[in-house]
Amino acid sequence: LPLISSAFVPIDSMPGWFRPIAEYQPFTPAIETLRGLLLGTEIGHNGWLAVAWCTGLTVLGHVWSNKTFNKDPK
């Protein structure tokens, strides 16, 4: 997934069909937030998107692991 994000190539230079895939996946907001904080530029709404992705993935992982490990062995 990091290769399908804005980590190495700016999203504006990606082909039209590939741009939505790169924009709406978890690594792009996190990378843009870190880039903005390190360079001292605007991060816009990317900070909130990164927090939302992290929270959502944490909740999903918690629910999934609870269902997996609390199964009755038969």
41 in any annotated domain = yes
pLDDT of residue 24: 83
Q: From CA 50, how far away is CA 60, in angstroms rounded? A: 15
Tally of domains within the chain: 1
pLDDT at 67 over 80: yes
Q: How confident is the model at residue 21 (pLDDT cuts 50, 70, 90)?
A: confident
13 in any annotated domain = yes
**Which residue segment(s) compose the domain that 51 sits in?**
2-69
74 in any annotated domain = no
pTM of the model: 0.75
DSSP string, 13-51: GS-TTTHHHHHTSTHHHHHHHHHHHHHT---TTHHHHHH
> Between 6 and 35, where is the model more confident?
35
